[in-house]
Amino acid sequence: MSKEHVVRNYIAGQWRTAEAQGFLDVENPATGEVIARTPRSTTTEVDRAVAAARQAFPAWAHMSVARRVSWLFRWREILMKNEEKISRILVEEMGKSLSDARAEMKRVYQNLETACAAPMLQQGSKLVDCAGDIDGEEMHEPIGVFAAITPFNFPAMAPFWFIPYALATGNTLVVKPSERVPLTLEAITEFLHELELPPGVYNVLNGDKDASIALVNHPDVKGVSFVGKTDTCRIIASRCAELGKRCQAMGSAKNHLVVMPDYKQIDELIRNMSTSCYGCAGQRCMASSVIVAIGDAMYERISATFVADSRKYRVDNPLNPDVLEESLVIGPVISAQSQAFIHSMIEIGVREGATLALDGRGIRVPGCEKGHFIGPTVFTNVRPGMRIHQTELFGPVVCIMKAGSLDEAINIINNHPYSNACSIYTQNGYEARKFKLNVETGMVGINVGIPAPVPFLPFGGMKSSMLCDIKMQSRSAFQFYTHNKVIVERYWPTE
Amino acid sequence: MSKEHVVRNYIAGQWRTAEAQGFLDVENPATGEVIARTPRSTTTEVDRAVAAARQAFPAWAHMSVARRVSWLFRWREILMKNEEKISRILVEEMGKSLSDARAEMKRVYQNLETACAAPMLQQGSKLVDCAGDIDGEEMHEPIGVFAAITPFNFPAMAPFWFIPYALATGNTLVVKPSERVPLTLEAITEFLHELELPPGVYNVLNGDKDASIALVNHPDVKGVSFVGKTDTCRIIASRCAELGKRCQAMGSAKNHLVVMPDYKQIDELIRNMSTSCYGCAGQRCMASSVIVAIGDAMYERISATFVADSRKYRVDNPLNPDVLEESLVIGPVISAQSQAFIHSMIEIGVREGATLALDGRGIRVPGCEKGHFIGPTVFTNVRPGMRIHQTELFGPVVCIMKAGSLDEAINIINNHPYSNACSIYTQNGYEARKFKLNVETGMVGINVGIPAPVPFLPFGGMKSSMLCDIKMQSRSAFQFYTHNKVIVERYWPTE
Amino acid sequence: MSKEHVVRNYIAGQWRTAEAQGFLDVENPATGEVIARTPRSTTTEVDRAVAAARQAFPAWAHMSVARRVSWLFRWREILMKNEEKISRILVEEMGKSLSDARAEMKRVYQNLETACAAPMLQQGSKLVDCAGDIDGEEMHEPIGVFAAITPFNFPAMAPFWFIPYALATGNTLVVKPSERVPLTLEAITEFLHELELPPGVYNVLNGDKDASIALVNHPDVKGVSFVGKTDTCRIIASRCAELGKRCQAMGSAKNHLVVMPDYKQIDELIRNMSTSCYGCAGQRCMASSVIVAIGDAMYERISATFVADSRKYRVDNPLNPDVLEESLVIGPVISAQSQAFIHSMIEIGVREGATLALDGRGIRVPGCEKGHFIGPTVFTNVRPGMRIHQTELFGPVVCIMKAGSLDEAINIINNHPYSNACSIYTQNGYEARKFKLNVETGMVGINVGIPAPVPFLPFGGMKSSMLCDIKMQSRSAFQFYTHNKVIVERYWPTE
Amino acid sequence: MSKEHVVRNYIAGQWRTAEAQGFLDVENPATGEVIARTPRSTTTEVDRAVAAARQAFPAWAHMSVARRVSWLFRWREILMKNEEKISRILVEEMGKSLSDARAEMKRVYQNLETACAAPMLQQGSKLVDCAGDIDGEEMHEPIGVFAAITPFNFPAMAPFWFIPYALATGNTLVVKPSERVPLTLEAITEFLHELELPPGVYNVLNGDKDASIALVNHPDVKGVSFVGKTDTCRIIASRCAELGKRCQAMGSAKNHLVVMPDYKQIDELIRNMSTSCYGCAGQRCMASSVIVAIGDAMYERISATFVADSRKYRVDNPLNPDVLEESLVIGPVISAQSQAFIHSMIEIGVREGATLALDGRGIRVPGCEKGHFIGPTVFTNVRPGMRIHQTELFGPVVCIMKAGSLDEAINIINNHPYSNACSIYTQNGYEARKFKLNVETGMVGINVGIPAPVPFLPFGGMKSSMLCDIKMQSRSAFQFYTHNKVIVERYWPTE
């Protein structure tokens, strides 16, 4: 890639140079190098993409669902064959480790696989004789053109929370990837292009906030999926509601890990937690960033051991050949702006009185002086209500807290502004059940640091971490992308 | 009933006199007589109801679902035994015929019956070994306090689109019935009171728009169900989205009946259509108010026959003993205001050039001179785009139109601003299928004038007739009232 | 009741005196008193019952499912009101404690409740455009006349594993209760009789093995449900398969309870186990009769404590007013024959070298000298392969064994000829999961002595404890009682 | 292929020469040429295959379902790439037309696709708090080793009614293909072999009836699927029931096509019917072989037109290059024995008094003098009860009958000994509904000559055409291949 490369839009089955009102740099966050430019597509360009999707809708909607998914089967196959190529592009523009990129691709395939089940999962139901000689039927119909506006941290997986299901169910789609990481989806789309999907069924539109706003407001867009910050979610969800559109809006997170006082397998525990905290440099909505130890003894032990383990991570350019196949690698955060924000929050944490047990600032990665690196950072003595506890940082910064009991830990979680996910470490069936029934988060782990559901189960938070009614993945995705029309039918005897 | 009767609130298992900022008259629309007064509950009173519901939530949510539905079984039984008593109150305050009131009660029972299936329908799913030795689980958890704001036209059924499901799934509820028809729910609640439901699980709050606004904005209300006009739906849906609340908002309707040119059973057809148009004096979201005949011959025949049949309906006080057991009875519309609005629209229809083939204005019902009656009114020569075609009238006013083909009729329906329901009359399987797949309404009838789904199927419109993602009744109601939390669980070997 | 009472058949909506080829005594097993006589219905009488069911089938099958279940709602209600009356009859003829009888009635209601969900659970599915313009539909149709042949140990619950589901789904039914306990179902049927179910939909036929054989072989009986011994199951299942009939055949059991070495709550544990072993005098297919303690220490502790707890049970006539409301009561076994068999097996156990730690033989209950009592009996030092371990005793006789590890305990269970149910006592999530995934029984308990599923879940064993493919209760019952007919449908364009 | 080729067994991931007690010729039925030899595997060889499957079971059963289906995805892909090669082998050994062989392969892929949905479809259910603090769970566990014994007429599709589902759900399998057509599965298995499925999960055993009997009786085979004649079904089903094994046994058919008197699209109708009757030379369980015309006029018209259309079919070697891409081709029946049987039945038809309107005997195909050809054969004036009506012929022989009404036609169908499938031709929604609700066959077509459900719906007949409870394909296949174990779970508070 190079700064000469202008990312293309994919509209109506054709690659095209966007009609743009300007361009944004795509950076390799490990080197600061500009590797491409994202066009800021104009409203006219948005109209073009939506029009293509709208035109493609009727024929696609009325095609047999088994035929529709045949393209998904083939897309899955071709992406698997090109996993390595795509993963490298992903690493280059996003900065996560190669093993994280490969793991992300697995979720792409699994979302495709789940959508391939559409001939089973989109079936409606029928009640013969729902009343005297009258039959009732519930159909799951596609709705029309959808838009998906996806974030920078999962350049491959995030679009695939939407594409496979939207297409399988008979809708058509415009995807707007993050302007920071447009290259992965461009590469993925190249492979789809070979498969001769009917033009307009799937479209990629590059751009920034203006394009997103235009998509949300476009009268022919019948539903919007968005993953980003909670504040943006509120605006989009509210606007969609007013316009009568379907909406998925997945927001911010701050995920807690609770350790019971008698937990035995400390080595597995620590590594399980640090993997959750430092993977993708902490830039995952499922990353954990708060550890709550129950009792003094466990708190002391965790604090010491976690810091020691954190030191084992290597901060580096993930494409450095030395670390390419390593797992304990932390790459850069996405941008200088993000790095500066995290630095300022570390500053605030210190001022709030938390103990900065490990300071990741000021890391130097040789040859990557312009990269946006932050090393593993650990605060101990964190108390609920501190800003470092209340704020989503999206970096490799961990807060360690103490609680007197499981109930107290549950309260900390339930009183937090974000409610995406959390986990407990315990071998005790009673405590595990109590935790899972009482925490108010959308996803819950038992001895699992990253309780991200496989696509065969729904994905989404609760309360302010999900500003909508229907989750992503699994049966939920089928609900989101279909309208359940009801038919009430009777025939009079002919005579 | 009498004007001295002030409708009571039901909060925390107790009847109480509302803290009110004023009162509104409840009228018998057939006589204009004031039969009770609805308190305009204050914000403090709203807080009280919500607080009761909030307090009751945790214990109710963690009770076995089988135990929760045991109250629904008993409520169903006691309501069935008191059907006649409740139906008469319903007729007195709302004005529909007694047979319509009884039919409405049937839907109350069926919604209760569907919710009684909660031990089967609220089950979650579990995927053992969703990844190596990790299990995934999807739970359907209750969410908290819900509010239901219900309309005047179904004083019994509309609250029961919500109450049974909210309670069965473990949520607690505040119902605000229409200030025009609060007596039916008051009567129904009396019977629940006998059953010793845990206090606060179910609450009734009387009031007007102010109370509705307070409920929508209350931070402890986690979801809102509303049935009313599309404009109000937009406001509520948008506000709920911003606040991160679940929302159901069911709006306006204008339902079309399409008659194919070769339809044979004209007698059944006409009566099936007139029942749809005139039942409840046309004040049903499922009422039809537009007939589209395909072809000149059928248009002429329908126009003549429908007007003739319309003349057979008797406009009267539904509690007049002479008509009590009659079915071809049209009672009053709900208010003088509504009557005036409909009169003005008839005026407009005439000015727009439609033919007023039957004029229901100026009806006099002896002894009911202050009743708000309108007789069957039929416009022919109606064209798409006329205001009488575009506007929801909520009265016994029918538009008859002509279309050249089934495709044209489908276009008329799909271009209409409202998209609740529609029906076709045909014996031909091909045409029936084409119609049901291509019309863009939430409910579709085949030879059924009122394609209102039984509660074993979902209920709701499409596009601007439903400003939300999840329908009422059936599995949809279970989706609306539960959050699908996901658990990801693993245990390490012990030794 | 008295020996003059001849139990009546209920055929075509009428009580009738059976055409009988002889009579069998119905005894109160606590007193030995004859309380009624069961007619040995002739083949002609069987034909009469089946003919009534066959005649009733078409109209019942084509009735709206919502209407069919309306009778079940009413039956549930009337039985709940008469619980005490029915329970006393049940105790009198069967001998279990009154609290056990009442608990049994709860299962009756819950099976009715589950069947009441039929309008949701019997819905078929529909796949629009399963291939170009062709729709596919799966209907769940009733099949015809079913027979249910039920055992003595649950005179009320066992028939209700079948009746509610058979009727809800649109089949008609002939129930043949155990000739030893026909009075409970006679009483229950009295209440149904009041409800005016259409004649022939539900029929009760009294008789012995001859009547069962005639039912199994009758060409108009389309399916048979049987609960009894494994040997009989094999014969019935094989005969039904040959004749192309549906068959459920639930057989013998010997259920193990496994106690992990570090289990803490010993008091709850022991009572949980003894309740499982001694309830209904051990005459439950879900009763446990083998305790497997892991490790020497736990084995010693359990052996001592369990015997001590066993001594607290009182052996008595359950209708003795002194024990009527007691829970630690053991009533008689069903017959002198059964008592003699159990005595002989205790004899064998002693000879095989097991330690008879508590001997329940020779119990005298004052005033009940002809009752068939056996007191709590405990063998320790039992080894796999002993006949007292391999044989289903159906009495209050417990074997205590030792195993060196959880794996060894699982092997003991998996190598046993019967595979109905088993349980583990552990607080450890890893061990619980290992146990539930690896034991080969149809039902598994975690810290639950009697893992009998509520009717919202399926009920049935595995391997030689269930000689059929489809379980009882829940969705399984709906599968058993319906045929999934598939429709493939297309319409050509008309013009 | 050549007569030197001895078909190999595939056991434990290896091709091996069968231990055989003799050999059977595999013939090209169009030429009579011997193209291979099927070994008659011994009981020892059967034991070997079952042992391999048994050994592979535990690891396969406990593998993540998503991982299991990854092989099915790949198998589907590789088979699609080799469709032409496999189809030619299929044509050579079975004799159907190349287009029929390709269509058969489509069903192979679709069955694989449906099984690929296993991560969604094998999920169990969970009821939290099914009773106070007790949770209930239903798991869908694999069972063990299954056997599939498949018929000659669908050498590719029939094994795939079983393989994908058995494997996806975690069972292991031994397939015994028809000894007449073993080469197709041998070729298909070659492609699987490349994929490195764990050894023993999937095994192919060649042989005759002796091998089938050994499989059915083998104690380690937990379930058997069989497709063949009704008489054999009875024996297998009965034996399996006695042994406590799962069983699917799909039997004989005689499918009726009913034409309503006012049916208009006669050209489409006739071709739709003749395709059903003559495809695969009538050797399909879904082939129609009886046409029932309602009314004299339609009967006369159908008789004349159908015979005329039948003459358009060309009887030939399907591998003759001239007809390779033709659709109106009839190849040979499977064997000289089958040909002789059909000839004898034609003889009988004539003797019974039916009119032999078209005689397909005595066809000569140049260059294929030893082929087993029968041309299109049509009987008119057939009456119910004639042996040509009652008997399954499995050849291109059609009976045309007359009925006075739809009711009479339904009676003819419902009184026939076989109840697999039937169809109606009508445009009338009332008649279509009446037909589908009232005919007693497992599959029903509306204007579809071959109402064979796609794999997203169940497949199977009724009454004597299906001697088991659970159908093939779709959710039914998942039911057949899994045991629904129930877990009842509770944890006591820890201290």
pLDDT in tens, B173-199: 999 999 999 999 999 999 999 999 999
Look at residue B170 and give its three-state secondary structure: coil
Which of A116, A233, A247, A285 is an active site residue? A285
How many Cα atoms occupy the beta-carbon half-sphere of D61 within 13 Å?
22
How many Cα atoms occupy the beta-carbon half-sphere of C51 within 13 Å?
6
Q: Which residues of chain D neighbour B137 with C-beta distances below 8 Å?
A: 126
* Rounded-to-integer distance, Cα A158 and Cα A176, Å: 11
Sort A51 into a burial class: Cβ within 10 Å, 0-12 / 13-18 / 19+.
middle
A285 is catalytic: yes
Residue A332 has a pLDDT of 98
* Rounded-to-integer distance, Cα C386 and Cα C403, Å: 15
Residues of chain B with CATH 3.40.605.10: 9-251+467-486
Q: What is the CA radius of gyration of chain D?
A: 24
Please give the torsion angle defined by the CA atoms of residues B308, B312, B313 and B314, in that order, rounded to the nearest 10 degrees.
140
What amino acid occupies position B30?
A
Q: Name the minimum distance, in Å, from the CA of B237 to any CA of chain A.
A: 5
Average pLDDT estimate for B159-164: 98
Confidence grade of residue B1 (pLDDT, cut at 50, 70, 90)? low
Of residues A385, A441, A459, A410, the one with CA closest to residue A292: A410
How many Cα atoms occupy the beta-carbon half-sphere of A61 within 13 Å?
22
CATH class given for the domain over D255-446:
alpha beta
Average pLDDT estimate for D226-255: 97
Express each pLDDT in C328-382 by its tens digit: 999 999 999 999 999 999 999 999 999 999 999 999 999 999 999 999 999 999 9
Q: Is D132 on the interface with A (CB under 8 A)?
A: no
Express each pLDDT in D365-392 by its tens digit: 999 999 999 999 999 999 999 999 999 9
Of residues A193, A236, A197, A234, the one with CA closest to residue A217: A236
Residue D131 has a pLDDT of 87
Q: Which of A411, A440, A487, A494 to mutate to test the interface with B (most CBs of B within 10 A)?
A: A487
Other CB atoms within 10 Å distance of the CB of residue B4:
9
* Closest CB from A77, A119, A437 relative to D456: A119
* Rounded-to-integer distance, Cα B89 and Cα B2, Å: 12
Residue A132 has a pLDDT of 85
pLDDT < 70: residue spans in chain C: 1, 495
A244 and B464 within 8 Å at the Cβ level: the answer is yes
Average pLDDT estimate for D40-56: 98
Residue B495 has a pLDDT of 58
Express each pLDDT in A89-101 by its tens digit: 999 999 999 999 9
Residue B3 has a pLDDT of 81
Express each pLDDT in D340-349 by its tens digit: 999 999 999 9
Residues of chain C with CATH 3.40.309.10: 255-446
Q: Which of A65, A75, A108, A120 to mutate to test the interface with D (most CBs of D within 10 A)?
A: A120
* Closest CB from C131, C480, C486 relative to D442: C486
pTM, whole model, 2 decimals? 0.97
Does residue B36 have a pLDDT over 80?
A: yes
Region of D242 on the Ramachandran plot (φ > 0 left; ψ -120 to 50 alpha; else beta): alpha
What secondary structure letter does DSSP report for D326? -
D470 and C468 within 8 Å at the Cβ level: the answer is no
Express each pLDDT in C239-283 by its tens digit: 999 999 999 999 999 999 999 999 999 999 999 999 999 999 999
Listed in sequence order, the residues at least 6 apart from D11 whose beta carbon sits closer than 8 Å to its beta carbon are D48, D49, D52, D200, D203, D204, D205
Average pLDDT estimate for A475-491: 97
Residue B132 has a pLDDT of 85
Look at residue A103 and give its three-state secondary structure: helix
Token representation of residue A141: 């119909």
Residue A495 has a pLDDT of 59
Average pLDDT estimate for A136-153: 98
B126 and D126 within 8 Å at the Cβ level: the answer is yes
Residue A156 has a pLDDT of 98
Residue C327 has a pLDDT of 85
Which of B116, B240, B277, B285 is an active site residue? B285
C444 and D487 within 8 Å at the Cβ level: the answer is yes
Express each pLDDT in B269-310 by its tens digit: 999 999 999 999 999 999 999 999 999 999 999 999 999 999
Does residue B494 have a pLDDT over 80?
A: no
Residue B479 has a pLDDT of 98
Instruction: Report, at the CATH architecture level, how domain B9-251+467-486 is classified.
Output: 3-Layer(aba) Sandwich (3.40)
**Mean pLDDT for chain A?**
97
C490 and D456 within 8 Å at the Cβ level: the answer is no
Of residues B229, B250, B254, B306, the one with CA closest to residue B412: B254
DSSP line for D210-246: HHHHHHHH-TTEEEEEEES-HHHHHHHHHHHHHHT-E
Which of D116, D233, D247, D285 is an active site residue? D285
With contact defined as 3+ CB pairs under 8 Å, the chains touching B are: A, C, D
Does residue A1 have a pLDDT over 80?
A: no
D126 and B124 within 8 Å at the Cβ level: the answer is yes
Q: Which residues of chain C neighbour D244 with C-beta distances below 8 Å?
A: 234, 237, 463-464, 466-467
Express each pLDDT in A50-71 by its tens digit: 999 999 999 999 999 999 999 9
Report the DSSP pairing between strands B221-227 and B246-250: parallel
**Which of C198-202, D358-362, D491-495 bottoms out in mean pLDDT, i.e. has the lowest?**
D491-495
Express each pLDDT in C13-33 by its tens digit: 999 999 999 999 999 999 999
Does residue D479 have a pLDDT over 70?
A: yes
Does residue A193 have a pLDDT over 80?
A: yes
Could you tell me which chain A residue has the CA closest to the CA of D78?
A77
Chains A, C: CB pairs < 8 Å: 68
Region of A293 on the Ramachandran plot (φ > 0 left; ψ -120 to 50 alpha; else beta): beta
Residue B396 has a pLDDT of 98
Instruction: Assess contact for A333 and A319: CB atoms under 8 A.
Output: no
